Amino acid sequence: MAYFPEVVDRVRFEGRSSRNPLAFRFYDPDKRVGGKTMREHLRFAVCYWHTFKATGMDPFGQPTMDRPWKTPRETMDAAFEFFQKLGVDFWCFHDFDIATEGDSYAQSGKNLAEMVSYAEEKQAQTGVRLLWGTANLFGNPRYQAGASTNPDPAVFAYAAAQVKNALDATKRLGGLGYVFWGGREGYDTLLNTDMARERAQFAKLLWMAIDYAKSIGFSGQLYIEPKPKEPTTHQYDSNAEACLNFLREFGLMDHLKLNLETNHATLAGHSMLHELRVARAAGVLGSVDANTGDELIGWDTDQFPTSVYLTTSIMLEILEMGGFTTGGLNFDAKVRRQSHEPVDLLYAHIGGMDAFARGLEVAHAIREDGRLAEHVRRRYEGWDSDLGRKILSGELSMKDCANYALTNPEPTRVSGRQEYLENLVNEFIL
Ligand code: XUL
Ligand code: CO
């Protein structure tokens, strides 16, 4: 049975002039951009949770989604049919997206192992690979007060046991990475919370995972995924800088990278560009959850990315770091509640992939042109002068600076040229 009959074989690239809503207009997987193909640059992944499991339920209404796949196996059939027809190379999942959580830890483990075997077959048939796996440590009521950050060590132990199985599953499926998103690792009120303890507990879980991964020979990249709020009022991994602080404090910098999500950046009051820049500068930019938020609503709406301005800024940072290694662009995005037909999932992903393909081309062209980078280089070239070098090397004291100010004219102001640079970026987009 075909779950996505609108596409017979594969979504094809038809070019900019195509009016076929089920064709790519920009994503041409084998087209070369710089030294690599689009497919190699973009490394698209489809997420299991929103795409195949989301029901359309919201706080005000019942499920809306028409989803002919019901059992875990049917769902996986639908998923791999979708990956193949869309032509993505990767997927991502939580343990209990693919398997049903049982009444006991033992039963849940069995259910998961069975579905991992089925996924192994599907991967072998299709060549689709696992970008990353993860565990759902936030849905079950036992985690209402957090998983590793729970006041009860029994809950910590359960969470660690669940991560063990999820790491085993990720290893078996040849996953390139494993994500820790701090689901309920935060607080709703400080009145009942020992924050210092909870953060140390969280670090302990990460250290256990590092040790366990090593013991089973899992060499994939571990990531943490910042988000400032939702579901808790304050999540400890609130943004990229808070994550860096946490990783440094607990000696974890060499073991984890960041998986950055656009809507989480918005919730943190930052642009995605800011979050990416922070991570890249620290050498821990790992992977991207590609979506976008509704700036007017103020919650995590997880929409599909359609803005070329956004995708251009993301691809500028990815190109600047030399491209993804273990990471990729995972569509952690869901169709709107009214887009209830399976075909809407195709439209959504095709749009996101086209927006990123165009963003890649624009970002590459901006870099080839070189004016933007040259502008920034020239803006700081004073730091290569005698004065700049002496300040940075520590040769000049504050007193020396006072002497300098006494004996030199007022510094000349230089325009930041923001509008000029905004026009320059648009020159490549429009
Ligand atoms: C939640 C979120 C998660 C993680 C995986 O906001 O982004 O889906 O990506 O647990
Ligand atoms: Co995410």
54-57 — which CB contacts under 8 Å span 24+ positions? 54/334, 54/335, 56/337, 56/340
- The residues carrying an active-site annotation are 94, 97
Q: Note the ligand closest to the C-alpha atom of 267.
A: 1
Q: What ligand is nearest to the CA atom of residue 54? A: 1
Of ligand 1's atoms, which has the minimum distance to the CA of residue 134?
A: 10
If one residue of 225, 258, 259, 331 were mutated to test the ligand 1 pocket, choosing by the most ligand atoms within 8 A of its CB, it would be: 225
Q: Domains, the chain, ranges and CATH?
A: 12-369 (3.20.20.150), 387-429 (no CATH)
Q: Beta strand pairing status for 285-289 and 177-181?
A: unpaired
Give the number of the atom of ligand 1 that is nearest the alpha carbon of residue 138: 10
HEC letters along 226-251: CCCCCCCCEECCCCHHHHHHHHHHCC
Q: How far is Cα 2 from Cα 170, in angstroms, rounded to an integer? A: 27
- 310-319 core/surface letters (b: 16 or more CB in 10 A; e: else): bbbbbbbbbb
261 in contact with ligand 1, CB cutoff 6 A: yes
Check residue 298 and give its pLDDT. Answer: 85
In ligand 1, the atom with minimum distance to the C-alpha of 49 is: 8
DSSP class of residue 382?
G
CA pair distance 187, 232, nearest whole angstrom: 6
> What is the 8-class DSSP label of residue 329?
E
For residue 179 and ligand 1, the question of a CB distance below 6 A is answered with yes
Pocket test for ligand 1, best of 52, 134, 224 (most atoms within 8 A of CB): 134
Ligand 1 binding pocket includes 332 (Cβ within 6 Å): yes
Ligand 1 pocket, residue 225 CB under 6 Å? yes
Closest residue by CA, ligand 1 atom 8: 332
Q: How far is the CA of 134 from the centre of ligand 1 (A)?
A: 9
Beta carbon of 237 within 6 Å of any ligand 1 atom: no
Closest ligand 1 atom to Cα of 136: 10
d(CA 383, ligand 2 centre) in Å: 39
Instruction: Kindly report the backbone phi and psi dihedral angles of residue 381, in degrees, each rounded to the nearest multiple of 5, phi listed first.
Output: -65, -20
- C-alpha of residue 271 to centroid of ligand 1, in Å: 18
Ligand nearest to the CA of residue 96, numbered in listed order:
1
* Widest pairwise Cα distance in the chain: 83
Closest ligand by atom to 132 CA: 1
Evaluate whether 356 touches 27 at the Cβ level (below 8 Å): yes
Q: Would you list the DSSP string of 151-189?
A: SSHHHHHHHHHHHHHHHHHHHHTT-SEEEEE-SS-EES-
Is 49:368 a contact under the CB 8 Å cutoff?
Answer: no
- Of ligand 1's listed atoms, the one at least distance from the Cα of 259 is 9
CA distance 236 to 224: 11
Q: Count Cβ atoms below 10 Å from residue 339 Cβ, excluding itself.
A: 17
How far is the C-alpha of 282 from the C-alpha of 244, rounded, in Å?
8
Tokens for 59, please give them.
Answer: 């706080």
Q: Is residue 39 exposed (0-12), middle (13-18) or buried (19+ Cβ within 10 Å)? A: middle
Q: How far is the CA of 198 from the centre of ligand 2 (A)?
A: 22
- What is d(CA 264, CA 268) in angstroms, rounded to the nearest whole number? 6
Regarding the beta carbon of 168 and ligand 1, being less than 6 Å apart is answered no
In DSSP terms, 179 is beta-bridged to: 223
**How far is residue 294 CA from its own chain's centroid?**
17
Measured in Å, residue 74 CA sits from the centre of ligand 2 at 24
Q: What is the residue-level pLDDT of the chain in tens, covering all 430 positions?
A: 899 999 999 999 999 999 999 999 999 999 999 999 999 999 999 999 999 999 999 999 999 999 999 999 999 999 999 999 999 999 999 999 999 999 999 999 999 999 999 999 999 999 999 999 999 999 999 999 999 999 999 999 999 999 999 999 999 999 999 999 999 999 999 999 999 999 999 999 999 999 999 999 999 999 999 999 999 999 999 999 999 999 999 999 999 999 999 999 999 999 999 999 999 999 999 999 999 999 888 899 999 999 999 999 999 999 999 999 999 999 999 999 999 999 999 999 999 999 999 999 999 999 999 999 999 999 999 999 999 999 999 999 999 999 999 999 999 999 999 999 999 999 999 9
- The distance of Cα 173 from the centroid of its chain, to the nearest Å, equals 20
- Nearest Cα to 301, choosing from 230, 372, 246? 230
The protein residue whose alpha carbon is closest to atom 3 in ligand 1 is 181
42 Cβ contact partners less than 8 Å away, ≥ 6 residues apart: 27, 328, 329, 353, 356, 357, 360
Task: Please give the C-alpha separations between residue 285 and each of 49, 170, 253, 317, 415, in angstroms, as whole numbers.
Answer: 23, 21, 12, 9, 31
Separation of 247 CA from ligand 1 center, angstroms? 19
**CA 245 from centre of chain:** 19
Q: What share of the chain is helix, strand, coil (3-state, %, to 5)?
A: 50, 10, 40
